[in-house]
Structure 1
Amino acid sequence: MLDLRHLATLHAVAEEGTFGRAADRLGYTQSAVSQQVAALEKSVGGTVFDRPGGPKPVRLTPLGEVLLAHGRDLLALAAATEDAVERFKAGEGRVDIGTFQSITNVILPTVVRRLLDEQPAADIRLFEEETDQPSADGLDLVFFDGPLKGDVEQVKILDDPYVVVARHGQFADGPVPLQALDGAAMVAQPPICDQARVERVYAEAGVAPLIVFRTADNRGVLSMVRAGMGIAVMPLLTLDIPPDDIRTHEIEPALTPREIYLAWHANRTLSPLAKRVIDLTEQAVRQLR
């Protein structure tokens, strides 16, 4: 079996012309170069250099020419592979991330920008889905507003409190009592993910808002509140900076915040790039707080 070290020695001797100069180039002793050439000749079953002796340079035999012609390709492939491994360890490669609107709009722009500043060749793929229980299959990392079930590891990155969103002047300054939502026209998100839990809290408190419109588009909810169609109860992370005609109010008693998690497959080694996404996400959340 050919040894890449032996091929590298063959290449160096062929270019330098002597075992001594090849040894200087490779950082070996001359005897070590001779031993490697001998081992190469033994493995291929023939002589690879004609050795005229004296000051004359050695020359490749026909077998040596064949070995060097193909060996250059192997050495180049090995160097490219080594370079790719080093770049992978440094954070290059591809990372597939499952996300949803709030994370896409608020957290991931900072993460992606920093990641590309560090690793311009990184291949980042985002997959956005609004679902009750996303799957981590085929993904390196998944964001979700609640703990994921199944064979995953996960970390809670954020508690996202709920607020009432209403037109200016619709409520007095200060917190809005939960009971004030009873019978109120409300624009809401579909009853999936954490929205379903919030609506169960309403029901348990005997509060029955009048849902006049549902949309999974956070901006659509705000647009209809702004138009006067109704109020909304939304997590803070879903809100853009509200214009003058929109106000946010705390709820009294406060609803339990939605919990946002970042998850990945259990018992599976994360790439350096995926690990860096986790680090940058935690940094972005700390700055957001």
Structure 2
Amino acid sequence: MSRDLHTIELRYLAALIAVHRDASFSRAAERLGYTQSAVSQQIARLERGIGHQLVERPGGSRAVSLTPAGKVLLRHAEAIVARLTSAAADLDALDDGTAGTLRIGCYQSVGVRILPRVMREFLAQFPGVNVQLVENEDDGELLAQVERGELDLSFVVAPLPPGPFDSEELLEDPYVVAVRDDSPLGRGTGTVTPKDLARIPLISYAQIREAHLIENRLGHPALAGQMVFRSNDNGTILGLAAEGVGAAVIPWLSVDPHRDGLRVLQISGVSRRIVGIAWHRDRYQIPAAHAFIDLAHAAANEEEIHMRAALGNGAPRSGTKP
């Protein structure tokens, strides 16, 4: 038996479900917002398309019922309508920012000190959003993924390279020196200058954008010759400093404030690192992405309060953003 399934419309299946639930064409029409004749026509068209009688019509005031073929089709109709209703809910949730996938780029210091606070609040507000984290110490690589559409947002450090990016600043992160607690460096003052670091073995980052290399950020290229070790792991850098291998020159966010055996010195006369969050200016962002940015601002503000408490009034500002 041939069946013209292409003529079947969703409203015909909805009419079948309503007629079954109400056992009446008139009550089904009232439920659906149609006239009784319209519902009768929809069922008739459905029967022609299926090639089976689907509804028993006893006439008068007696209740209508489904035929065996109607009952078979009913199960499929309910499943189809339920799936489409679910799809509509998913699309509404996507528009509302309560579902979907949010892909975030991050580097270690932000991943330890800021991201956990953001995720705590974000997942409470948007439990239906799947957050995928991509970690890389080189924010240049993360920005390349933003440009290719592989990431929706990425934590970054200013200045950004040329590209189709928009960004917002989150936090001014001062550069500090972490030394073994018995080191004579900065003892009695708690502050050093880049000149004080001359001829001292240094430890810092490895694979980062050239603009962010410590010798460049501190404005003393000669410091590169004093680097005895470079690593992209904060724990390794701080462990080496605690053992007296060298002085670790890093941003404050990279410091473990609870680690024993270390003393943290402020560096005066140096611009702070500007931590921000960036996205592709020409790509659609689900509303949850905007909420993530707002929560990142809140977490950064909390971290700045902790930083100021730990460093006194905070590291002296140079007055110039990089």
How far apart are residue 245 of structure 1 and its match?
3.3
How far apart are residue 274 of structure 1 and its match?
2.5
The amino acid that maps onto 1:36 is V
Match of 2:227 in 1: 211
TM-score normalized with structure 2 length: 0.77
- Identity score, percent: 31
* Residue 39 of structure 2 corresponds to residue 36 of structure 1: yes
Cα deviation code 1:181-203 (max 9, x no counterpart)? 11111112116336745312556
Match of 2:275 among 260, 265, 268: 260
Cα deviation code 1:232-274 (max 9, x no counterpart)? 2211111111545322222222x11122221222221112333
* Residue 165 of structure 2 corresponds to residue 152 of structure 1: yes
Aligned equivalents of 2:178, 2:281: Cα separation in 1: 39
How far apart are residue 160 of structure 1 and its match?
1.1
Match of 2:106 in 1: 99
Match of 2:308 in 1: none
Q: Tell me, which stretches of 5 or more residues in structure 2 are unaligned?
A: 1-6, 305-322
The amino acid that maps onto 2:105 is G
* Residue 154 of structure 2 corresponds to residue 142 of structure 1: yes
**SS of equivalent residue, structure 1 residue 73:** helix
TM-score normalized with structure 1 length: 0.85
Match of 1:118 in 2: 125
Is the contact between residue 183 and residue 208 of structure 1 (CA under 8 Å) also seen in structure 2? no
Q: Which deviates the most, 4-13 or 199-208?
A: 199-208
* Residue 18 of structure 2 corresponds to residue 3 of structure 1: no
Is the contact between residue 194 and residue 258 of structure 1 (CA under 8 Å) also seen in structure 2? no
Count of aligned pairs between the two proteins: 285
Q: 1:273 to 1:80 in 2, by over 3 A?
A: same
**SS of equivalent residue, structure 2 residue 282:** coil
Match of 1:185 in 2: 201
The amino acid that maps onto 2:37 is S
Q: Which deviates the most, 47-56 or 76-85?
A: 47-56
Aligned equivalents of 2:47, 2:27: Cα separation in 1: 24
Q: Tell me, which stretches of 5 or more residues in structure 1 are unaligned?
A: none
The amino acid that maps onto 1:113 is R
Is the contact between residue 19 and residue 33 of structure 1 (CA under 8 Å) also seen in structure 2? yes
Is the contact between residue 145 and residue 260 of structure 1 (CA under 8 Å) also seen in structure 2? yes
1:1-289 map, 5 Å: 1-23=7-29, 26=31, 28=33, 32-42=35-45, 45=48, 49-60=55-66, 64=70, 67-88=73-94, 89-131=96-138, 133-134=140-141, 135=144, 136=146, 137=148, 138-146=150-158, 147-168=160-181, 169-170=183-184, 171=186, 172-190=188-206, 192-193=208-209, 196-202=212-218, 204=220, 210-243=226-259, 245-253=261-269, 255-289=270-304
Cα deviation code 1:12-70 (max 9, x no counterpart)? 1123211233345x263xx6243133145347647754433211122446775565343
**SS of equivalent residue, structure 2 residue 132:** strand
Aligned equivalents of 1:22, 1:65: Cα separation in 2: 17
Cα deviation code 1:127-157 (max 9, x no counterpart)? 1112261222312211122325322322222
How far apart are residue 119 of structure 1 and its match?
3.6
Aligned equivalents of 2:238, 2:289: Cα separation in 1: 34
Aligned equivalents of 2:72, 2:244: Cα separation in 1: 81
Q: 1:260 to 1:202 in 2, by over 3 A?
A: closer
Structural RMSD (CA): 2.8
Q: 1:63 to 1:132 in 2, by over 3 A?
A: closer
Cα deviation code 1:57-112 (max 9, x no counterpart)? 22446775565343222212112212323443351232221111011111111122
